[in-house]
Amino acid sequence: MKEKIVFFGLSTEGYHLASKMVIDGAEVKIIDESSSSAIVLNSEIAKTYTDVISLREDEPLLSMEPSKMAISKAKYLFFTPRIRKTGQDLKTEVNSKFKDAVAELKKGSSIINCLPTGFGGNNENISLLKHVTGLEAGESISYFYFPLNDLNKTPDVIGCLKQTDEKKLSTLLKTDKKEKNFVDISTAENLHAINTIQRFSNLCSIVEVCKFVKPNAKRTTSFNDFKSLYLDDMVNGLYDLRMLGSSFESAQTLMYLINGSVRGISGYIKRLIDTIRITLKKNDLKASKTKIVLSWTLDTNEMRGDKIEMLNSIASKLRDYIGDVETSSGSIDLFHQDKVTIVVACSSYDYKEIKQNLKDDNTFVIKANPLCEI
């Protein structure tokens, strides 16, 4: 008999995993938080709808089940919500969605948290789980940690409360015919922390040193390896870094590394905005006669909201001195002939789209890479 699997959160990451499982023959349902309904998936749906956007468009036509009923019958519940709040409201949103996800779970079921936490973040979830359901994690209900980010490279390990050998779960999450190993929760948290901090420390060293590279064609060829690194890549996983930073209150070396990386990203944004201002000044462009287009093709269904938040923040800062600021997805439909346009390419995809479609000489293109090339 097939195990019943439910995903709480119609996110890109959740749907990606759910589609793989259903194609492999599992019985899967995915809950759209905005409608409180569970979509009954099958292999035909997974093959027809390759992403969440196309699935949402035809959602009313698909077979549904009340989310509470789906969760109450689930053997495995994957927590893959879309989180959009920031700052003080972030933890409130995560806790609220976690409560909604686990409320109907029954004894003998398992919850797999796929949303990254800070150090000890899963202990808070485990306490919340007992408070909401009355079930003790590790005894009458199982709890696992499997933080998702890069869909092409899922974690090598599954965090669990007890050294359990959950063959079925390992099989569901295996990649390249390689089953995942089980480790305790704190080990899984620490491994994710190392990967996250290591990545941002490396990234920020590149961004910080590239500030000193002068815009000389001969010199910049030595930095070609970094030119394909765009803002889209830099912000990837910033949510995870911030969650790690919120785990500490005392000033310790690890905190310096985390805060230094967060400041490094903030410093890069300031430099990117300064590059736009310098472009205006160097070319004697009047703010009233200039349009800025932030070209950044975003996945609005990702679990993390870092990129959406970052795009809105940059647009807001630019509007402080240039009124005409718009966002676009690799398109030039927004370009106006009566104004000089400064386009900021925030990803390699957007840059390629812009170069392919650009026919207007009255346009400046700024690459949002470590060199802020114009």
Q: Which helix (H) or strand (E) holds 140?
A: none
Residue 312 lies in a domain: yes
Residue 206 lies in a domain: no
62 shares a domain with 153: yes
Looking at the chain, the whole-number percentage of residues with pLDDT higher than 90 is: 59
341 shares a domain with 219: yes
Mean pLDDT of 1-16: 91
What pLDDT is attached to residue 84? Answer: 92
Q: Which amino acid is at 40?
A: V
87 Rama sector, left if φ>0, alpha if ψ -120 to 50, beta otherwise: left
- End position of a domain, from candidates 190, 222, 245: 190
Kindly report the pTM of this predicted structure. 0.91
100 shares a domain with 247: no
- End position of a domain, from candidates 133, 158, 190: 190
Q: How far apart are CA 82 and CA 300, in angstroms?
A: 9
What pLDDT is attached to residue 62? Answer: 85
Residue 204 lies in a domain: no
Q: Which residue has the tokens 């398992």?
A: 110
Mean pLDDT of 350-368: 84
310-348 pLDDT, tens digit per residue, is 999 999 999 988 888 888 875 655 555 678 888 999 999
Q: Residue 330 gets which letter from DSSP? A: S
| Residue 200 · residue 261 · CB < 8 Å | yes
288 shares a domain with 172: no
180 shares a domain with 66: yes
- State the number of CA atoms in the 13 A half-sphere of 167 facing the CB: 0
The whole domain housing 83 covers 4-190
Looking at the chain, the whole-number percentage of residues with pLDDT higher than 70 is: 94
231-259 pLDDT, tens digit per residue, is 999 999 999 999 999 887 776 888 899 99
Residue 325 lies in a domain: yes
| CATH number of the domain within which 363 lies | 3.40.50.1400
Lowest mean pLDDT among 21-35, 147-161, 167-181, 260-274: 167-181
174 shares a domain with 75: yes
What pLDDT is attached to residue 58? Answer: 87
What pLDDT is attached to residue 203? Answer: 94
Distance in Å from the first CA to the final CA of the chain: 60
Total of domains in the chain: 2
- End position of a domain, from candidates 122, 157, 190: 190
What pLDDT is attached to residue 244? Answer: 93
256-294 pLDDT, tens digit per residue, is 999 999 999 999 999 999 999 999 999 888 888 888 999
With 70 as the cut, is the pLDDT of residue 164 above it? no
What pLDDT is attached to residue 206? Answer: 93
What pLDDT is attached to residue 330? Answer: 58
145 shares a domain with 63: yes
Lowest mean pLDDT among 100-114, 159-173, 263-277: 159-173
179 shares a domain with 34: yes
What pLDDT is attached to residue 218? Answer: 66
User: With DSSP H G I counted as helix, E B as strand and the rest as coil, what are the percentages for the chain, rounded to 5?
Assistant: 45, 15, 35
With 80 as the cut, is the pLDDT of residue 175 above it? no
Neighbours of 211 (CB within 10 A): 12
What pLDDT is attached to residue 106? Answer: 94
144 shares a domain with 221: no
Residue 289 lies in a domain: yes
Edge-to-edge order in the sheet of strand 340-345: 325-328, 290-295, 340-345, 363-367
241 shares a domain with 103: no
Residue 200 lies in a domain: no
Residue 62 lies in a domain: yes
254 shares a domain with 135: no
Residue 299 lies in a domain: yes
Mean pLDDT for the chain overall: 89
222 shares a domain with 163: no
Mean pLDDT of 185-205: 95
289-298 pLDDT, tens digit per residue, is 888 999 999 9
Residues 6+ apart with CB under 8 A from 114: 13, 14, 17, 78, 79, 80, 146, 147, 148, 303
Q: Which amino acid is at 89?
A: D
What pLDDT is attached to residue 163? Answer: 63
Structure token pair of residue 356: 């392919």
Task: State the greatest distance between any 2 C-alpha atoms of the chain, in Å, as a whole number.
Answer: 72
Q: How far apart are CA 266 and CA 269, in angstroms?
A: 5
Closest CA to 352 of 367, 336, 362: 367
